[in-house]
Structure 1
Amino acid sequence: MATEGTVTLRDIAEAAGVSIGTVSLALNEGKGIALATRQHILEVARTLGYEQRLPRRSVKVPKTVGILIERLPIAPTSDPFNKTVLLGLEAAARREGYRIALEFVHPDDGLNMDHWTPEVTAGMIILGGGDLDRNLVQAVVESHLPVVMVDHYIPGIGLPAVVPDNFAGAYTMTQYLLEKGHRRIGFVRGPSKYWTLSERLAGYMLAMQQEGLGPDQELIPPRISSGEEKGYGETLRLLDLPEPPTAIFAVSDKTAVGVYRAIHKRGLSIPGDISIVGFDDIEITRVLSPALTTVQIPAEMMGQVAFDRLLKLKDTPEESATLPIKWSLPTKLIVRDSVRNQHTD
């Protein structure tokens, strides 16, 4: 080992297992080096007796992760799905000694990234889609912070994403209804701005096509209801068809609530007159009467995986230059009491 006063950059590089250039960047606080790597090199330099040549001010490791989420009519802690994802994020952050900070975004407000800087922010997580459009996401990309998307991705923008397997979940649910003897299956869609909801529609359509039953556009009414009324108007339109569906697939459990209301409004029973299924497996599915058959999403795990992936990008920034990965977590069919077996008629 080199003695005090004769320590060179090469000595530090060999002891730290990095290049001389990386050592130079670390000692001079240059850009393009992970904070964890910088800290490691500084510690090695001090151990070798390079202490007096190091900058007196220490390198502060950011311990805050920013969470960007679209501004919804209700608080994210009141939204059943986002609340669960945030629980997973918060648990993972606490485990690693980080805190999370939420910022609510609306496209009319734009996005100011000035306060999300590498000096104070370890990285960014974009939760959900809709109003978090291409321009907003691109602004985050240009901040040069590590970024991971959750329950959302935008084709053409190279960001890692953690999403549920919406397509497979919807395909499996539609197959389940077909196996129960349903052939007229309506689908109540969601807003087209949510890419993940469009995947659910695609899964339904493929299962119907493979059965030689679609697509039948009259079974997929245009979106006419929103907010607390979502699913209500579309269901009434399906019920008014000359040949109404025997089952309705709601794009989300919150949409299924409106479907239930419309069916009860018409004096019909579930599943006696018509079967209903949903997607997400939020708490209300178990208290609806009858309990809703749905697709379960591992929302809390999505938050945990997203945070773990973000830390990986932070510690190894060279990974961000490789092909971004889309982690698709498996969904699960949850059978309850809202589907009738047509084969027993």
Structure 2
Amino acid sequence: MTRPSGVRATVRDVAAETGLSIATVSRVLNGQGNVAPHTRDLVLRAVDRLGAQAPRPRAAAGRPSEGAVFVRCPYVLTDYFGLIVSSIAETLERHGRRVVLSAGEASQGEPVLAGLAAQSDLAAAVLILPPEDAGDIILLRDRRFPFVVVDPRTPLPRDIVSVSAAHFAGARQVMAHLVGLGHRRVGVVGGPSKWLTSDARLAGYAAALAEVGVLSAPELVRSVPEPTIEHGYRVAGELLDLPRRPTALAAFNDKMAVGALRAAAERGLSVPGDVSVTGFDDLDLSRAAQPALTTVRQPLQEMGRMAVTLLMRLLDRHELEALHVELATELVVRGSTGPAR
């Protein structure tokens, strides 16, 4: 069903879309319990199809609006995730909210999401790079439990609120910088192949090359299971050992870029004289590297603050229009990049 831009759909439109009565649709959207599961799913799917102009389901009845906020980061709280989590906690404290924190890689396999809506002391959640399938996150939405996703790993329906950096734009910026220095054969030390972030950055790298008529050769693009220094070192070494090695390496993050610096040094290659290296994130590590890394600055702390702001609006039952928020990145040029030989 399509509607003219700006014309808001009504409960009547949802009823027409599903073939259900207006009363039944109203019960679903108002969170009443006397609705069969398949009927509820039918209505929610219709709301998805109608998109931004559709009436949204209300928060679950009885949800403690003043309860604690569950913050889940199933990764070690390093300088990357630590910055995000600390900004979330500080902002929630200013709103007078208690934080229930679950962090660490050991929790990745735990079925956390399924039980959140049943915890009566929780008002909402912030989920950072959740490892669960999109289907599990959609089920949490269908239970009308308020939550915001920070840096989603997989594509989400537009009515699930998320905050991330502008990965495509950032990758395009840094690759355009390399292209401007004359680099055409650029090796990509890429991230995990099934991450939404990886796809966006690869597209950004490719877009900047395409602007000068270059299609990146498949052998120049590598992916890793986890974006670590060791994986960056290994993949960069493979690229630098090619018969026709790249003149630059664009790494998925600063840690992998540091691994690339080590791989270049072990082969007697100077940076940036023989090969340029770029990162992504602008962690402290990028400034401590030798040479200091050209990288893309992500607004990590602002991502955390924005996530809380959106969550508070959800709890106050405000209507959100910008549901997938991307925050601007910034290219930071340092000593690891130079003209192509």
The question of a shared fold, defined as TM-score above 0.5 by the shorter chain, is answered with: yes
Does structure 2 conserve the Cα–Cα contact (< 8 Å) formed by 1:92 and 1:307? Answer: yes
* TM-score computed with the length of structure 2 as normaliser: 0.76
Structure-1 residue corresponding to 2:102? 103
TM alignment of 1:200-211, pairs within 5 A: 200-211=201-212
TM alignment of 1:301-312, pairs within 5 A: 301-312=302-313
Question: CA distance change for structure 1 residues 280 and 96 in 2, over 3 Å: closer, same or farther?
Answer: same
Question: What letter matches 1:341 in structure 2?
Answer: P
CA distance in 1, matches of 2:298, 2:165: 6
1:117 Cα shift? 4.2
Structure-1 residue corresponding to 2:296? 295
Question: What letter matches 2:99 in structure 1?
Answer: I
CA distance in 2, matches of 1:224, 1:63: 37
Structure-1 residue corresponding to 2:5? none
Question: What letter matches 1:296 in structure 2?
Answer: R
Does structure 2 conserve the Cα–Cα contact (< 8 Å) formed by 1:64 and 1:98? Answer: yes
Question: CA distance change for structure 1 residues 227 and 297 in 2, over 3 Å: closer, same or farther?
Answer: closer
1:223 Cα shift? 3.4
CA distance in 2, matches of 1:60, 1:227: 40
SS in 1 for 2:214: coil
Answer yes or no: is 1:264 the counterpart of 2:265: yes
Question: CA distance change for structure 1 residues 226 and 286 in 2, over 3 Å: closer, same or farther?
Answer: closer
Structure-2 residue corresponding to 1:195? 196
Structure-2 residue corresponding to 1:68? 72
SS in 1 for 2:115: coil
CA distance in 2, matches of 1:253, 1:311: 32
Percent pairwise identity: 32
Question: What letter matches 2:148 in structure 1?
Answer: V
CA distance in 1, matches of 2:113, 2:289: 42
Counting matched residue pairs gives 284
Structure-2 residue corresponding to 1:286? 287
Does structure 1 conserve the Cα–Cα contact (< 8 Å) formed by 2:187 and 2:220? Answer: yes
CA distance in 1, matches of 2:201, 2:156: 20
CA distance in 1, matches of 2:215, 2:278: 19
CA distance in 1, matches of 2:305, 2:99: 13
Structure-1 residue corresponding to 2:145? 145
Per-residue CA deviation, residues 186-234 of structure 1 (Å, 9 max, x unaligned), is 1111112321122111100111122111131121135378644111121
1:262 Cα shift? 0.9
1:112 Cα shift? 5.5
Structure-2 residue corresponding to 1:124? 125
Answer yes or no: is 1:341 the counterpart of 2:339: yes
Per-residue CA deviation, residues 125-148 of structure 1 (Å, 9 max, x unaligned), is 11114x232243234324421111
Structure-2 residue corresponding to 1:183? 184
CA distance in 2, matches of 1:222, 1:330: 25
Per-residue CA deviation, residues 38-95 of structure 1 (Å, 9 max, x unaligned), is 9xxxxxxxxxxxxxxxxxxxx965331111222x3xx32xx11111111221121111
CA distance in 2, matches of 1:201, 1:144: 34
Runs of 5+ consecutive residues of structure 2 not aligned to the other structure:
1-31, 34-56
SS in 2 for 1:148: strand
1:325 Cα shift? 1.4
Structure-2 residue corresponding to 1:51? none
1:179 Cα shift? 0.6
SS in 2 for 1:137: helix
Question: CA distance change for structure 1 residues 112 and 273 in 2, over 3 Å: closer, same or farther?
Answer: closer
Candidates 326, 330, 333, aligned match of 1:332: 330
CA distance in 1, matches of 2:242, 2:150: 38
TM alignment of 1:24-173, pairs within 5 A: 61-70=65-74, 72=75, 75-76=76-77, 79-104=78-103, 106=107, 108-111=109-112, 113-114=114-115, 116-117=117-118, 119-129=120-130, 131-152=131-152, 154-157=154-157, 158-173=159-174
1:307 Cα shift? 0.2
Structure-1 residue corresponding to 2:43? none
CA distance in 2, matches of 1:33, 1:238: 52
Question: What letter matches 1:247 in structure 2?
Answer: A
1:251 Cα shift? 0.8
Structure-2 residue corresponding to 1:49? none
Question: What letter matches 1:67 in structure 2?
Answer: V
